[in-house]
Amino acid sequence: MSDIECPGAGNFLGLCESYSSPGKSRFSIIPVPYEATSTYVRGSSRGPAAIIEASANIEIYDHELDIEPARQGVYTAPEVEPVPGDPAATMEAIEGAVSEALASGSLPVVLGGEHTVSVGAVRAIAARAGIKGAPVPGEDFFVVSFDAHADLRDSYDGTPLSHACFLRRALEVARGMAIGVRSLSREERDFAAAGGVRVTYADEIHSAGAGAVDLGDIPANVYISLDLDVLDPSIMPSTGTPEPGGLGWYDLIDLLKRVISGRRVLGFDVVELCPQQGNVAPDFTAAKLIYKTIGIIIEYSANGG
């Protein structure tokens, strides 16, 4: 056990107070147990707690990066309490929590919950950057969505704040792209084509390799949204809408390194874990992905180190 771990701490990674306090931590974990629009497997509201529980078993040292990312501090904020029956108010609550993290100087890491929670996070970053309504030169940012689904519907099941509409809502305050897609409607395909929204399909990645994905026009500032169903169900079965043919672990890690390298990461999220009783491996995989992304930000990003 590392000298910075305190058994029973109950926070992400089980860190001692000196490495998990809100005023000194480089990263802020923001759990959002929100689930209102799930259309297949339910249970994503239990995802954040399962991730935090599993994270206590992660080795603090990352041998691939040769660092202990947790030494830069990882604070676990209180859960954002969803507003029952009011998704707009819930998004506002998420915006508030993310804005608080940004104001403290830490990088927000949102744990869903369904993918809709990412809308609140993106809106908070856009508002703080001065982008909403009036772009500020040099402060533009780009949303990279890793997802099995395009999430470009304008409305789904009668609501524009659905897990199936995340990227469409994000594009109201930022530019963006989707990577790893293998399921979308004709409407979404047509919207992407008309609006110049790049969609990289999983079969293209399998055929040409992760290194062939075109990332050339992503600007300096990025927000990363990681829907766990971007991974293949063979390693990530615990999602609300699993799709065959997903990415492997190292494909995703390679793509994350490429997206993050040399750019300023404004925040990221990991969403759509639906824990399965008796199968904790996906919970650990989700927690490991968060910790690995933190390490990659430290080592590869323009705001790392």
pLDDT attached to residue 79: 97
**pLDDT of 239 strictly over 50:** yes
What does the pLDDT look like over 83-110, one tens digit per residue? 999 999 999 999 999 999 999 999 999 9
**CATH code assigned to 12-300:** 3.40.800.10
Distance CA 10, CA 24 (A): 18
pLDDT at 136: 42
pTM of the model as a whole: 0.95
Percent of the chain topping pLDDT 90: 85
Q: How far apart are CA 28 and CA 289, in angstroms?
A: 15
What integer pLDDT is reported at residue 157 of this predicted model?
A: 87
DSSP SS3 for 67: strand
pLDDT, tens digit, for every residue of 191-222? 999 999 999 999 999 999 988 898 978 999 99
Residue whose tokens read 């304008």: 154
- N- to C-terminal Cα distance for the chain? 24
Round to whole Å and give the CA distance between 213 and 241.
24
pLDDT given at position 133: 43
- pLDDT-derived band at 290 (thresholds 50, 70, 90) equals very high
Q: If phi over 0 gives left and psi between -120 and 50 gives alpha, with beta otherwise, what is residue 282? A: alpha
